Amino acid sequence: MPDRRKQGVFISLEGLDGVGKSTQFDRLCRALEARGWPVFTVREPGGTAIGEKVRSIVLDPANHEMAPAAEALLYAASRAQLVEERIRPALAQGKLVLADRYVDSSLAYQGRGLGLGVGAVREVNGFATGGLLPDLTLLLDADPDRAMDHLTSARSSDRIERRGPDYRRDVRREYLALAEADPDRLKVIDAGRGIDEVHQDVLSAVLEFLKTRGRGVRA
Ligand code: TYD
């Protein structure tokens, strides 16, 4: 359940590696700032001094012996720190928090992808975040194989990105299942198109949401 005591707005971006999430995140951030929103950005795993240390452990390809449960708990630990240190204070100040990944990444990548079970990972994350969920989540969806081509041509891969095509298909399936189960919070955006087209849809979804919250116009 979203925490109703907070004043700000919490929006997350999700999607498989290689779907263009970082580009869309930056474009959305700039577009909202241009409209006068006090945007506060965070990224996962990481986003705090402690979280960045966790990030380097969890993504290091040398850590191939990491147990699935340890991996899920490390992501949750990084998230707990981020929520406490940065997200809750920003929301309390009425900011619009834009997160590059949040709980849904763990549900898809660890819960389904690693076979830990979505319910178990949800529970761990409920504890880690005190039950804080985004008000709106945009899921950038694209064919996992095409997204992978984009990724491998772009840069060297981390421990998670090195997992095979079956893993990526499972992650995508879970993301889509999460969206189907909670269509009010999760909106699916077809990311298999040009950057501008995707951006327009992302921005429209966010502006539409802000309008329904009576937050369409900033003083
Ligand atoms: P990052 O380099 O930030 O990737 P991206 O630019 O795609 O967000 O690395 C994050 C990696 O960690 C990415 O492969 C997804 C994975 N991840 C999880 O498996 N579970 C999680 O809970 C989170 C937040 C990320």
Cβ(56) – ligand 1 distance below 6 Å = no
> 212: which residues sit within 8 A by CB, 6+ positions away?
none
Mean pLDDT value of segment 180-207: 98
Identify which of 55, 78, 109 to mutate to test ligand 1's pocket (most ligand atoms within 8 A of the CB): 109
Look at residue 219 in the predicted model and tell me its pLDDT. 35
Spans of all domains in the chain: 9-212
Look at residue 213 in the predicted model and tell me its pLDDT. 82
Identify which of 52, 122, 148, 160 to mutate to test ligand 1's pocket (most ligand atoms within 8 A of the CB): 160
Cβ(106) – ligand 1 distance below 6 Å = yes
Residue with the smallest CA separation from ligand 1 atom 17 is: 105
Residue 98 pLDDT greater than 90, yes or no: yes
DSSP assignment of 34-72: HTT--EEEEESS-SSHHHHHHHHHHH-TT-TT--HHHHH
Residue 171 pLDDT greater than 60, yes or no: yes
Identify which of 63, 105, 112, 170 to mutate to test ligand 1's pocket (most ligand atoms within 8 A of the CB): 105
pLDDT digits (tens, 9 = 90+) for 3-35: 444 589 999 999 999 999 999 999 999 999 999
Assign domain 9-212 to its CATH superfamily.
P-loop containing nucleotide triphosphate hydrolases (3.40.50.300)
Residue 2 pLDDT greater than 50, yes or no: no
Per-residue confidence at 187, pLDDT binned at 50, 70, 90? Answer: very high
- Least confident piece of the model among 2-11, 23-32, 58-67, 103-112: 2-11
Q: Regarding predicted confidence, which is higher, 159 or 52?
A: 52
**Strands, E, within the chain: which ranges?**
9-15, 39-43, 96-100, 136-141, 186-190
Residue 218 pLDDT greater than 70, yes or no: no
User: 181 C-alpha to center of ligand 1: Å?
Assistant: 22
Cβ(25) – ligand 1 distance below 6 Å = no
Can you state the angle between helices 144-154 and 165-181, rounded to 10 degrees? 120
Is the separation of the CB atoms in 169 and 177 below 8 Å?
no
User: What is the rounded CA–CA span in Å between residue 12 and residue 99?
Assistant: 4
Residue 215 pLDDT greater than 70, yes or no: no
pLDDT digits (tens, 9 = 90+) for 116-153: 999 999 999 999 999 999 999 999 999 988 776 766 66
